[in-house]
Chain A
Amino acid sequence: MTQTTSERYRVRPIRERRREWPFPFNLYQTAVGRKWVMAVTGIGLLGFVLIHMIGNLHVYEGPAKMHEYAESLRNLGSGIMPRSLILWLLRLGLMVMFALHLHSAITLKEMSRKSSLNATFQGGEKKYEGGREYIAANYASRTMRWTGPIIALFLFYHLADLTWGWWLGDDFVAGDPYHNLYSSLSRIPVAIFYVIANMALAWHIFHGAWSMFQSLGINNPKYNHLRKGFAASFAGLILLGNLSFPIMTQANLIDEDERLCQVDDLEGTDEILACLTKQLEDH
């Protein structure tokens, strides 16, 4: 030991300590603090995913109710604040959380890669010649950095598809989510893509929603046994809800045959939205 710790043989650090940024930004300079940020933003994203899923269940109440739900999101806080302000603040918060979550994930992975340099580092983990029999690490925990990017790609597709209407073209009716959802998910390749992406999401949540407790130090023998169950149920719930949309569309349980405001019969977005509003009032 004397030999190895004497100056000459001292193993050099892989990372130099940088000058500390002012509080609270210094937290993000450290790996433990950055992981904490990943967990907190992860919780925010979990909250979003849950509410988004529950909100979308309105689709089972028909086009008019779905339209009303979409409107009420835009009207959040109206009367006090300009219309859509709250919605935009929520969106901004989501974007910031997403960016931080992604940045922390990528940089921390890079840190692990650099810390394994004299080992073989492949596909996000260290390899041994004698094979590596994982005992605790499960498939979900080892694929976080694959499921993550799948979610990111899907998210982009999903926004372009149902928010911006890039792919639906003339079929896209801004403000009529039921119609857009039906038009999109009734195409088989799209339905399949949605199913795959949501399985990736559930997979990600399965590890993430447990891992975050450890990262945040939420650990006590009194409730530790509940944490994995919580993560599994959360992932299962999200999976069930989100998979129902493409599946029900394919099974024709979400369709437009019975629709009162037929998109093809009406001229332009305004008329369609007016028809939906009238339908709500008549109800």
Chain B
Amino acid sequence: MSEMITVNLKIWRQEGPDTKGVFEKYTQKVTTEASFLEMIDLLNEELNNQGLEPISIESDCREGICGTCGVMINGQAHGPRKATTTCQLHMREFSDGDEIVIEPFRAGSFPVIRDLVVDRSPFDQIIESGGYISVNTGAASDANLTPVPKEAADQAFDAAACIGCGACVAACPNSAAQLFTSAKLAHMALLPQGQAERWKRTESMVGTMEEFFGSCTNHGECHEACPKEISLDFIAFMNRDYMKAKVKNRALSGQR
């Protein structure tokens, strides 16, 4: 059932990376059937009509799979609904007269580009430093040539669900990127295809992560904020693999 509500918005406005930002207040009338981003679209249209600068906010797929749309909504990454990206959040989560504070994801390594848009490219740098497997190109091999236990496949799939949105870092009181990095490591380390580069990859991706982000204290806020509900188990898995990578000499890994 749809209903018209009026929400009081308090939105972070910042011209560029080096300028100081401030909160601006707006009110917006909207149907509860609208998505959160549609509500912002309406507001932007009005700002545009008044000759004012619209609010910059990122979005692409608007179906919860690309990971661009994250913002903090009332102090929660991607807003109040569990396992939901900002684009999949609907105005029915709010009531008439609510104040909604919208601010960018914050972390030292996520500089604000403009308004609510932050630069999450340190994630790309973590991926660049090892988030791949090497396979020979050429004729495609037969499907299911490499047997994978169902449990491992499921678990790897869960890890691969990470959309790289950065909510984990934003929600973390330490600005740590453990959840993202461990998900990116686990979806390969759990599968046979990821074994060849497993240890080198772990060392190198964790190394890059530590250049940019804080140190995990196992609060668990990342998991709660994560729209894909990535499990904290992957963080423990990463910690274990990292120590193994550092301590063992892989030249003799065939030796029992």
Chain A residues packing against B (C-beta within 8 Å): 1, 4-5, 9-11, 13-17, 23-24, 26-27, 30-36, 108-109, 111-119, 124-126, 128-137, 141-142, 144, 207, 210-211, 213-219, 221, 224
**CA gap between A181 and B186 in the complex, in Å:** 53
Chain B residues packing against A (C-beta within 8 Å): 10, 12, 23, 72-76, 101-103, 106-112, 119, 121-122, 124-125, 172-176, 206-207, 210-221, 223-225, 232-233, 235-243, 246-247
CB–CB B213/A214 < 8 A: no
CB–CB B239/A142 < 8 A: no
B217 proximity list for chain A (CB < 8 A): 108, 112, 141, 144, 211
Residue in contact with A11 in the complex, picked from B212, B224, B233, CB distance below 8 Å: B212
How far, in Å, is B178 (CB) from chain A's closest CB? 9
CB–CB B214/A136 < 8 A: no
**CA gap between A52 and B129 in the complex, in Å:** 47
How far, in Å, is A21 (CB) from chain B's closest CB? 12
CB–CB A131/B219 < 8 A: no
Residue of A nearest to B232 (CB): A214
CB–CB A219/B240 < 8 A: yes
When A33-B246, A35-B215, A219-B240 are in contact, do A115 and B176 touch as well, CB less than 8 Å? yes
A-B contact sample (13 more), CB < 8 A, given A31-B210, A109-B215: A4-B119, A11-B122, A15-B212, A27-B246, A30-B207, A35-B216, A114-B214, A115-B175, A126-B175, A130-B102, A135-B224, A137-B173, A217-B243
When A9-B121, A128-B106 are in contact, do A108 and B215 touch as well, CB less than 8 Å? yes
B216 proximity list for chain A (CB < 8 A): 31, 35, 214-215
Residue in contact with B119 in the complex, picked from A9, A136, A219, CB distance below 8 Å: A9
CB–CB B221/A136 < 8 A: yes
CB–CB A135/B221 < 8 A: yes
B214 proximity list for chain A (CB < 8 A): 111-116
Residue of A nearest to B213 (CB): A115
**CA gap between A108 and B246 in the complex, in Å:** 19
How far, in Å, is A232 (CB) from chain B's closest CB? 15
CB–CB B237/A11 < 8 A: no
How far, in Å, is A13 (CB) from chain B's closest CB? 4
Residue in contact with A111 in the complex, picked from B72, B103, B122, B215, CB distance below 8 Å: B215
B124 proximity list for chain A (CB < 8 A): 1, 4-5
CB–CB A131/B75 < 8 A: yes
CB–CB A136/B240 < 8 A: no
CB–CB B174/A11 < 8 A: no
How far, in Å, is A139 (CB) from chain B's closest CB? 11
B218 proximity list for chain A (CB < 8 A): 141, 207, 210-211, 214-215
When A108-B215, A128-B72 are in contact, do A216 and B239 touch as well, CB less than 8 Å? yes
CB–CB A142/B212 < 8 A: no
A111 proximity list for chain B (CB < 8 A): 214-215
CB–CB A11/B176 < 8 A: no
**CA gap between A221 and B237 in the complex, in Å:** 12
**CA gap between A12 and B100 in the complex, in Å:** 32
CB–CB B111/A11 < 8 A: yes
CB–CB A136/B219 < 8 A: yes
Residue in contact with B239 in the complex, picked from A119, A126, A217, CB distance below 8 Å: A217
How far, in Å, is A138 (CB) from chain B's closest CB? 8
CB–CB B236/A17 < 8 A: no
CB–CB A129/B173 < 8 A: no
When A136-B219, A136-B220 are in contact, do A112 and B175 touch as well, CB less than 8 Å? yes
B221 proximity list for chain A (CB < 8 A): 134-137
Residue in contact with B211 in the complex, picked from A1, A14, A118, A130, CB distance below 8 Å: A14
